[in-house]
Amino acid sequence: MKVAVVTGSAGGIGSATVAAFEGAGFTVHGVDRGDAFPVLDTLDALVCAHGISGRRFGDGPVDSCTDEGWDTVLDANLKSVFLYAKHAIPALRANGGGAIVTVSSALGLVGGDDDFATHAYAASKAGVIGLTRAMAVTYAREGIRCNVVAPGLIATPMSERAQSDPAIIARLPELQPLTGGFGSADDVAQAFLYLATAPFVTGAVLSVDGGWTAR
């Protein structure tokens, strides 16, 4: 039986990811805030489905983003991915290969306007893309595939601010024209599952954003 570790497993996207991988026959070890990384002899997939929005910590445009906001968001969204991958790679090696799938954001690919001006968040999510693609190159010879999912606005507890903002809701047909609405956590979970099991895909950034970044 294949084994996966899913971080952020208690969150909206993380819990949907656990369910998707279990449905596909994986034994899933969930890791959430405060949990130690499981000790595993071998591993088939690490899925980094965690992350935070930093507004409450002081994130915002560069001129108003606080040092605390910057450090908190970069630690939670980027440094943590480095640390989880560092733990996972020896077990993936022992398995003869496997997959690391990380979560970025549409805001890691395009600049956010006034409604999405959280620059520490954008920097952290762009950094996840750079880190993951660099790992893809380094570990390809060992059969370790490293890919990124970049969601748009997804209906989860983390996006409650956007879900309750009439101005953002009114913009959804423009931002995500495919449906004109929020995506679901399962949309992202299924993208994770695909990238974790696609044998000839590495270094890819898969946008799951209803068309936001296609413009």
When pLDDT is averaged across residues 184-202 and rounded to a whole number, the result is 98
Please check whether residue 125 lies inside any domain of the structure.
Answer: yes
First to last CA, the chain: 41
What's the pTM value of the predicted model, to 2 decimals?
0.96
CATH number at residue 49: 3.40.50.720
pLDDT at 178 over 90: yes
3-state secondary structure of 104: coil
Please check whether residue 174 lies inside any domain of the structure.
Answer: no
Q: Report how far residue 73's alpha carbon sits from residue 123's, in angstroms, rounded to the nearest whole number.
A: 9
> Catalytic annotation on 139?
no
Tokens representing residue 62 in the block: 């560069």
**What confidence score (pLDDT) does residue 162 get?**
83
Range of the domain at 95: 3-156+185-208
Per-residue pLDDT band for 157 (boundaries 50, 70, 90) equals confident
Q: What is the DSSP letter of 3?
A: E
pLDDT at 3 over 90: yes
User: Contact, 130 vs 119, CB < 8 A?
Assistant: no
CA atoms within 13 A on the CB side of 159: 20
Q: Report how far residue 176's alpha carbon sits from residue 88's, in angstroms, rounded to the nearest whole number.
A: 34
Q: What type of residue sits at position 84?
A: Y
When pLDDT is averaged across residues 4-16 and rounded to a whole number, the result is 97
> What digits encode the pLDDT tens for the residues 86-96?
999 999 999 99
pLDDT at 73 over 90: yes
Please check whether residue 24 lies inside any domain of the structure.
Answer: yes
Burial of 93 (0-12, 13-18, 19+ CB in 10 A): middle
Mean of per-residue pLDDT scores for the chain: 96
> What digits encode the pLDDT tens for the residues 79-120?
999 999 999 999 999 999 999 999 999 999 999 898 999 999
Residue 31, phi then psi, degrees to nearest 5: -125, 125
Per-residue pLDDT band for 215 (boundaries 50, 70, 90) equals confident
Please check whether residue 171 lies inside any domain of the structure.
Answer: no
Please check whether residue 114 lies inside any domain of the structure.
Answer: yes
Please check whether residue 34 lies inside any domain of the structure.
Answer: yes
Please check whether residue 193 lies inside any domain of the structure.
Answer: yes
pLDDT at 183 over 90: yes
Partners of 4 in beta bridges: 28, 45
**Contacts with 61 (C-beta within 8 Å, 6 or more apart), sequence order:** 117, 119
**What confidence score (pLDDT) does residue 112 get?**
87
Q: How many domains does the chain have?
A: 1
When pLDDT is averaged across residues 205-211 and rounded to a whole number, the result is 98
Please check whether residue 116 lies inside any domain of the structure.
Answer: yes
Looking at 84, 121, 139, 194, which residue is catalytic? Answer: 121
When pLDDT is averaged across residues 131-142 and rounded to a whole number, the result is 98
pLDDT at 160 over 90: no
Q: What percent of the chain has pLDDT over 90?
A: 90
3-state secondary structure of 157: helix
